[in-house]
C-alpha cells in the first residue's frame, strides 16, 4: 500500500517514502502518464486532486482522493479557498450592519442566516416578544420560499453534474419565480439584508400576496416536472441508489444534519423540536425516509418543497388578516427605514427627506446617530438555531455592551455535513464521489466564512 508523502516529484512524477512505497499525484491532464508509470512499476494506488475548482458546482472545494483502480480508498477534504473573513468583519460593524455580512455566507439560502442572526440579537436585547406578528409572518414567508429555491438548486445542480442539464434548467426555472418574489419584496434577488433586528426593513408591497398566489402554481409545476423526470428514471436511480450511504449512528457521530440525517429516519427538524417564529402554529409534516443514500436524500428534498408550499399558503392567509407594523416600537432600536420609496424606485421619497431635513431636527439627529453608531446591546451571550435547508444553523453572539458584536460565530450545516464525505465514499467507486457530494448539498460560502 502506498503511503502519503509531502514531497511528490513534479506534477506527474512518483515519490517514494522511507519504506519504498510510492504515491502518484495526478493534476490536470496528466492522467495517462501517471497510469502508464503506475503500470510499469506495478503500483496501483494513486492520489488524485479533485478540485479545488468546483468539483461539484457548490463552491471551491478540494477533494483529495486516494484511489486504487476505480475504488476510493481514502478521501480527505481541503477547504478555505473561498474564505471571506465574514465573522471577523462583523466585529467591526454595527449589529444592524452585521445582517449585510452574514447574508452573504450561504448565498443560496441567505434568509436563514439573516433570521438566525436577528433572532439572536433580539434575545440579547430582550425584545423577542415585542417583534410585530406581521414581521414574523414575513420572515417565515421568505424562509420557506428560500427553502424551496435552495432545494431546487441542490437537485438541479446535482443532475447537471451528471450530465443531465435539463434537470438544472427546470430547477432554475422554478427558482426564478421565487427570486422574482424576493426582488419584488426587497429590491434584490440575493444577499437581501432585508431581515433586521426588531423586524424587517420595510413592509411588503401591497400586491405581494396576490403575486405569490399567482406564481406558486408555476413553482409547484416545475417541482413536479423535475420529480417526474428523475425519481422513476432508471438511469437516475442507478446512479443514486445505494450511493453515498450512511447509517443513523454514523450520521449522528459525524454531526450530519438536515435532509441527509432525516433520510435515515431521524426527524431532526428544529421547526418542530425547538420552534421559533411561530412554527409550532403551522400545519406541516417533518419528512423522513429510512435509508440515507443519495436517492433518498433527493426524495426528502422533493417532499420538503411541497411541505414548504403548504406553509407558504398558510402565511399568505395570515398576512391578509394581520395588518400592522413590521418593526419594534422602540425608536432606540427600530431601524428608521419605514418610509416611502421615491418614484424612480430608488432612494427615499422627497416627502420623507423634506420632513427630516426641514421640519424635525430631532428626527434627523436620531436617524443619523442610529445609522452611523447603531444601538447598544446589553452585555451577554446567546445561542440561536434555525432549521436551514441544509440542516441546523446555529449562531453564537457575544456582546460587551457596545454597538458592535464582540464575537459572532455561525455553526454552518454545510461545514458539519462535509465531515461525512469520507464515510459515504470510501470503498465506493470514483464515479460516485460527485453524486455523494451533490446529495449532501454543501455551499462553500457557508463553510469558508
Q: Tens digits of per-residue pLDDT, 53-112?
A: 655 456 788 888 888 888 888 888 888 888 888 999 999 999 999 999 999 998 899 999
Residue reference for cell 440579547: 124
pTM tops 0.75: yes
Which phi and psi (to 5°) does residue 85 adopt? 70, 30
**pLDDT recorded at residue 379:** 95
**pLDDT recorded at residue 187:** 85
Q: What is d(CA 129, CA 43) in angstroms, rounded to the nearest whole number?
A: 66
**pLDDT recorded at residue 295:** 94
**pLDDT recorded at residue 31:** 63
Which phi and psi (to 5°) does residue 325 adopt? -70, 165
Closest listed residue to residue 147, CA positions, set 177, 168, 178: 178
DSSP structure string for 188-255: -SSS---EETTEESSPPPTTHHHHHHHHHHHHHHHHHHHHHHHTT-HHHHHHHTTSS-B-HHHHHHTT
Cis peptide leading into residue 52 (ω within 30°)? yes
Q: What is d(CA 192, CA 100) in angstroms, rounded to the nearest whole number?
A: 8
**pLDDT recorded at residue 338:** 54
Cβ neighbours for 216, distance < 8 A, ≥ 6 positions apart: 309, 312, 313
Closest listed residue to residue 291, CA positions, set 257, 268, 253, 265: 265
Residue reference for cell 419584496: 185
Residue reference for cell 481514502: 74
Spans of all domains in the chain: 14-78, 89-330+375-447
Which residue stretches of 106-193 are H helix?
A: 110-125, 133-160, 165-186
Q: What is d(CA 441, CA 417) in angstroms, rounded to the nearest whole number?
A: 9
Closest listed residue to residue 290, CA positions, set 317, 263, 253, 315: 263
Low-confidence stretches of the chain (pLDDT beneath 50): 1-19, 56
Interhelix angle 208-230/133-160, rounded to 10 degrees, is 30
Find out whether 396 and 368 touch, Cβ atoms under 8 Å: no
Closest listed residue to residue 302, CA positions, set 387, 390, 227: 227
CATH 1.10.645.10 fits 89-330+375-447, yes or no: yes
**pLDDT recorded at residue 2:** 37
Amino acid at each position: 500500500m502506498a503511503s502519503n508523502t509531502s514531497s511528490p516529484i513534479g506534477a506527474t512524477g512518483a515519490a517514494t517514502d522511507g519504506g519504498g512505497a510510492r504515491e502518484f499525484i495526478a493534476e490536470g491532464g496528466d492522467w495517462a502518464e501517471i497510469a502508464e508509470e503506475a503500470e510499469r512499476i506495478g503500483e496501483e494506488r494513486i492520489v488524485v486532486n479533485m478540485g479545488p475548482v468546483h468539483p461539484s458546482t457548490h463552491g471551491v472545494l478540494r477533494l483529495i482522493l486516494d484511489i486504487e483502480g476505480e475504488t476510493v480508498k481514502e478521501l480527505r477534504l481541503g477547504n478555505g479557498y473561498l474564505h471571506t473573513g465574514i465573522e471577523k468583519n462583523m466585529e467591526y460593524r454595527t449589529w444592524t450592519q452585521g445582517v449585510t455580512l452574514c447574508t452573504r455566507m450561504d448565498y443560496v439560502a441567505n434568509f436563514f442566516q439573516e433570521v438566525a442572526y436577528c433572532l439572536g440579537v433580539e434575545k440579547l436585547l430582550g425584545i423577542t416578544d415585542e417583534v410585530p406578528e406581521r414581521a414574523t409572518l414575513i420572515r417565515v414567508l421568505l424562509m420557506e420560499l428560500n427553502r424551496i429555491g435552495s432545494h431546487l438548486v441542490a437537485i438541479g445542480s446535482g443532475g447537471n453534474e451528471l450530465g443531465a442539464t435539463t434537470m438544472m434548467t427546470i430547477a432554475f426555472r422554478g427558482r426564478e419565480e421565487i427570486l422574482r418574489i424576493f426582488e419584488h419584496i426587497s429590491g434584490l434577488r440575493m444577499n437581501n439584508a432585508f431581515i433586521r433586528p426588531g423586524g424587517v426593513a420595510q413592509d411588503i408591497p401591497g400586491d405581494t400576496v396576490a403575486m405569490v398566489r399567482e406564481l406558486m402554481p408555476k413553482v409547484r409545476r416545475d417541482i413536479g416536472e423535475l420529480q417526474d423526470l428523475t425519481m422513476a428514471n432508471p438511469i437516475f436511480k442507478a446512479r443514486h441508489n445505494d450511493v453515498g450511504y450512511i447509517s443513523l449512528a454514523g450520521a449522528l457521530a459525524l454531526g450530519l444534519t438536515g435532509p441527509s440525517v432525516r433520510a435515515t429516519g431521524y426527524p431532526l427538524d428544529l421547526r418542530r423540536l425547538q420552534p421559533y417564529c411561530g412554527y409550532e402554529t403551522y400545519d406541516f409534516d417533518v419528512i423522513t425516509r429510512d435509508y440515507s443514500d443519495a436517492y433518498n436524500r433527493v426524495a426528502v428534498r422533493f417532499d420538503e418543497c411541497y411541505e414548504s408550499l403548504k406553509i407558504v399558503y398558510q402565511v399568505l392567509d395570515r398576512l391578509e388578516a394581520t395588518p400592522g407594523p413590521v418593526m419594534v416600537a422602540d425608536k432606540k432600536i427600530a431601524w428608521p427605514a419605514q418610509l416611502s420609496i421615491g418614484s424612480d424606485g430608488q432612494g427615499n421619497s422627497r416627502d420623507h427627506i423634506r420632513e427630516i431635513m426641514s421640519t424635525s431636527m430631532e428626527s434627523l439627529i436620531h436617524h443619523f446617530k442610529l445609522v452611523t453608531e447603531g444601538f447598544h446591546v446589553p452585555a451577554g451571550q446567546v445561542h440561536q438555531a434555525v432549521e436551514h435547508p441544509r440542516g441546523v444553523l446555529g449562531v453564537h453572539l457575544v456582546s460587551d455592551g457596545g454597538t458592535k458584536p464582540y464575537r459572532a460565530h455561525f455553526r454552518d450545516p454545510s461545514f458539519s455535513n462535509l465531515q461525512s464525505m469520507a464515510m459515504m465514499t470510501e470503498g465506493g467507486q470514483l464515479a460516485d464521489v460527485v453524486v455523494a457530494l451533490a446529495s449532501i448539498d454543501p455551499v462553500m460560502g457557508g463553510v469558508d466564512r
